Structure 1
């Protein structure tokens, strides 16, 4: 049936003038059911989501999932499947009230929402695929559908949603990327035709043995097979479909929501009060991967650590496992002190630089303090500051010709207004790879005696390693702390050793938050050998820098590609007239993982430097990925 004929018959059916024969011709287009995913646990809506699933929240006098079910029934869709998991028993009453079919997802706690569709696959026909926590202001559901579709809402501002970047002349979605602005993003109702459902289920079952597949969102799985799983983009008005990520967003929409909240939460319970306080805080985490090769997304040292590190591991004895390290002398501290030519009284050791940073923030920050962080930059700083209820203010790291540079003017101007407790400077900067001049760092330190300047040198080692400037700063000023790690330059990411450099008074203060026992003695012995093997790391640095410069030049020879100068083991890349998300996906298909970053709403790639044979393969696939994204041949 042509679309025009379908539209005409549906119009007649709505008017009540369609004949029995015409209604029969519409049967293949009739929705068989709606499948509502309600298995998940909404951590950002704690503590309320700790006592009931989010779909059972009452908003403007109606339980969200009940409102959705009643809208479906009003549209003529009576077979409704609810997929449960977390607190599944809370949904049992829906069987009696609405005669829904309940399907339990036994894997809700370990896999993403595609596992809910896997659990309910036998019901997938002409089906709405919905979430229990979406709120539809008007009833958008229809009984008859010509094709598969996905609802979209327009956003002018940047948000971390799935943005439609391309559609073909027939309205089918042909391009989607995670994150965007000034465009349409998918949200709310998706509709699968029977043919679409069959394809989806077949592909899902084929890939189910892969751990990576089970950890996908439904949207990511659709993106993987966008050429086969075609959906029409349906543009809906701004507030027709809403999703509430936090309790505060619900309160803004429904001023009466607190009544419901306090019906279920004891406001006088001190434990609940703590849950409530931290409910909007998100912890930082890296995306899990089982892949061991092609990992160019984490800035691990892919040239590997000194062979002496592995030899140190082989010399371990049983005592290294079961005894606490209570020796008076700390050999790693002594070796670092000698290598850096910095007194041990200015050094503290921790379980990786992430923990160094967390201890600094934990000791120094109070509620409503201000932290300055570079933008673009590492989002970990904000997640740790948020947990202390400090406010983060970004200052600019800007593109200037063939490199990025710190906007000292922006930092100084904002500091006059906001009086930061902590100013974070990263050098070499992540993700841009730029550095900040020593004299500019000292200018910031001198100008802000009431702020602690945290100089994050996670990528120390690829440039000047004399430590002269660092020695001078920590002895001259009491308000500066330098953080370093063994994960990057030394290639020891999995032993979790980091350290800090600062004045003795600051070291003693931060030391109050250090672990009771020293970082792993096994890890420390390995780290000692890394520090001692200066010849190995000198050669490794020269090779890394040489390959980085070659790779940067090769990238800049590609039309529409701008790779910026870097002083670290990675390169930051801007792609013009290219879908960076598509490029990333293409690379993943070829077992190469790269990282996406956003700078001024433009997606960039960050690519770790590896041995030259790997980088040649990266370059080969990157050229093809860019050409494929542009819809043409490699240029």
Structure 2
């Protein structure tokens, strides 16, 4: 990580910045920040602008920043979001609203605020739902045809030419950042991190005094973990993409995240898997970007989202949730332990709990009315009711095909 770039960037953004604020931006002690400022002054990157303590960015500093300019952003939005059913039966997770603003739109807006306009969104599930963003924000959409059977390794593989030779943010459409953490210039590749107290199953980071990540392990206690956005510098992608491309061809990597490849590069596992690939044996630099508490959010499920935005405790704007609440005469907040059931040929279904009992809600898939007469199906259930040969039906609509069973 080029710390001089961070100093020059910070002064460009705020000439009146204090050394204490620089220390915070650099994630170093005040003494270290003072020494780095002196170094930048001696190298004629910055200068004191006057008695008021403000700094001035010199032509050499501006020249330094040019090679570290952010070229754009890649937003991953291809997945289904099974832990957010039934909401994601109707809308992709990244298009869910938090405090009245869609999560992906918040990130696009934050990127635009710092001048990052070149944005590509990798889509898959319900890809047509993202098309309005083309006109609204002038983004590009890139379709990943393998979204339903493979993980984010494949997403990055499909978008590799968008990343190659560029400095790019790599974001998830379903992240929410309280403050704008993006910049026009970045000093090197990084991964956002938050501190998790106690036991965690997240991906934990080990790093040196300068913040360079040395290893990644899954699970730990009281750890800084991978959480939120990341940034791929040109230099990072030059080493990383050839290894990811080779991993894409390896059997057994279909469910890998792109982070699995990076983790294997750090541990030496990639060199073992790919003995003839030079890049798999090279050191690769990525730095921890430690973020303050309550700044970055990755909502794991609807329960977490309900705690954050109380709107989802009362009204989720989802047809299935509204139906369940109406049938059981409860507020949506009392519908808990929601889990996706694997979609069948004709239906989408989810499990849930109300008042200590578990139920299944079946949602007919599009076009199933051409295959199944739901009124006849309901009539059969009505005839055999009480014989104990079917599941216990709580609700069945012969027109829509919605069914709730214990």
- State the TM-score, normalizing by the size of structure 1: 0.42
CA distance in 1, matches of 2:170, 2:234: 12
Q: Secondary structure at the match of 2:146?
A: coil
Deviation at 1:63, TM superposition (A): 0.7
Deviation at 1:14, TM superposition (A): 1.6
The structure with the largest strand share of the pair is 2
The residue number in structure 2 matching 1:108 is 147
The residue number in structure 2 matching 1:238 is 293
Q: Secondary structure at the match of 2:253?
A: helix
- 1:281 equivalent to 2:339? Answer yes
The residue number in structure 2 matching 1:402 is none
CA distance in 2, matches of 1:268, 1:189: 33
1:181-200 correspondence to structure 2 within 5 Å:
181-200=221-240
Q: Which of 190, 198, 213 lines up with 2:253 in the alignment? A: 213
The residue number in structure 2 matching 1:149 is 190
Q: Secondary structure at the match of 1:213?
A: coil
- 1:163 equivalent to 2:204? Answer yes
CA deviations over 1:285-338 (Å, ceiling 9, x no partner): xxxxxxxxxxxxxxxxxxxxxxxxxxxxxxxxxxxxxxxxxxxxxxxxxxxxxx
CA distance in 2, matches of 1:230, 1:283: 40
CA distance in 1, matches of 2:309, 2:322: 23
Deviation at 1:253, TM superposition (A): 0.6
Deviation at 1:177, TM superposition (A): 1.4
The residue number in structure 2 matching 1:135 is 176
CA distance in 2, matches of 1:257, 1:224: 39
The structure-2 alpha-carbon separation of the partners of 1:169 and 1:268, relative to structure 1 and needing over 3 Å to count, comes to closer
The structure-2 alpha-carbon separation of the partners of 1:11 and 1:246, relative to structure 1 and needing over 3 Å to count, comes to closer
Deviation at 1:7, TM superposition (A): 3.3
- 1:50 equivalent to 2:38? Answer no
CA distance in 2, matches of 1:188, 1:155: 13
* Contact 1:149-1:192 within 8 A present in 2 as well: yes
The residue number in structure 1 matching 2:272 is none
The structure-2 alpha-carbon separation of the partners of 1:4 and 1:46, relative to structure 1 and needing over 3 Å to count, comes to closer
Deviation at 1:198, TM superposition (A): 1.6
* Contact 1:58-1:260 within 8 A present in 2 as well: no
* Contact 1:65-1:132 within 8 A present in 2 as well: yes
The structure-2 alpha-carbon separation of the partners of 1:4 and 1:52, relative to structure 1 and needing over 3 Å to count, comes to closer
CA distance in 2, matches of 1:80, 1:102: 9
* Contact 1:31-1:144 within 8 A present in 2 as well: yes
Deviation at 1:260, TM superposition (A): 6.0
CA deviations over 1:539-564 (Å, ceiling 9, x no partner): xxxxxxxxxxxxxxxxxxxxxxxxxx
- 1:84 equivalent to 2:72? Answer no
CA distance in 1, matches of 2:322, 2:13: 53
* Contact 2:6-2:186 within 8 A present in 1 as well: no
The structure-2 alpha-carbon separation of the partners of 1:81 and 1:260, relative to structure 1 and needing over 3 Å to count, comes to farther
Deviation at 1:249, TM superposition (A): 1.2
The residue number in structure 2 matching 1:224 is 264
* Contact 1:54-1:133 within 8 A present in 2 as well: yes
Q: Secondary structure at the match of 1:281?
A: strand
The structure-2 alpha-carbon separation of the partners of 1:152 and 1:71, relative to structure 1 and needing over 3 Å to count, comes to same
Unaligned runs of 5+ in 1: 285-365, 370-385, 389-511, 514-635
CA distance in 2, matches of 1:104, 1:169: 40
The structure-2 alpha-carbon separation of the partners of 1:161 and 1:93, relative to structure 1 and needing over 3 Å to count, comes to same
CA distance in 2, matches of 1:176, 1:269: 44
Q: Which of 336, 351, 356 lines up with 1:368 in the alignment? A: 356
CA distance in 2, matches of 1:283, 1:272: 22
Deviation at 1:173, TM superposition (A): 1.3
Unaligned runs of 5+ in 2: 16-55, 268-282, 343-353, 361-388, 391-406
1:265-304 correspondence to structure 2 within 5 Å:
265=319, 267=321, 269=323, 280-281=338-339
The structure-2 alpha-carbon separation of the partners of 1:367 and 1:168, relative to structure 1 and needing over 3 Å to count, comes to same
The residue number in structure 1 matching 2:11 is 12
Q: Secondary structure at the match of 1:138?
A: coil
CA deviations over 1:473-492 (Å, ceiling 9, x no partner): xxxxxxxxxxxxxxxxxxxx
The structure-2 alpha-carbon separation of the partners of 1:9 and 1:58, relative to structure 1 and needing over 3 Å to count, comes to same
* Contact 2:177-2:295 within 8 A present in 1 as well: yes
When the two structures are aligned, how many residues end up with a matched partner? 291
* Contact 1:45-1:279 within 8 A present in 2 as well: no
- State the TM-score, normalizing by the size of structure 2: 0.65
The residue number in structure 2 matching 1:61 is 100
Deviation at 1:4, TM superposition (A): 4.6
Larger radius of gyration: 1
- 1:202 equivalent to 2:202? Answer no
Q: Secondary structure at the match of 1:175?
A: strand
1:245-394 correspondence to structure 2 within 5 Å:
245-257=300-312, 261-262=316-317, 264-265=318-319, 267=321, 269=323, 280-281=338-339, 368=356
1:529-544 correspondence to structure 2 within 5 Å:
none
The structure-2 alpha-carbon separation of the partners of 1:259 and 1:270, relative to structure 1 and needing over 3 Å to count, comes to closer
- 1:35 equivalent to 2:89? Answer no
Q: Secondary structure at the match of 1:207?
A: helix
Q: Secondary structure at the match of 2:193?
A: strand
The structure-2 alpha-carbon separation of the partners of 1:279 and 1:99, relative to structure 1 and needing over 3 Å to count, comes to farther
RMSD: 3.1
CA distance in 2, matches of 1:83, 1:174: 29
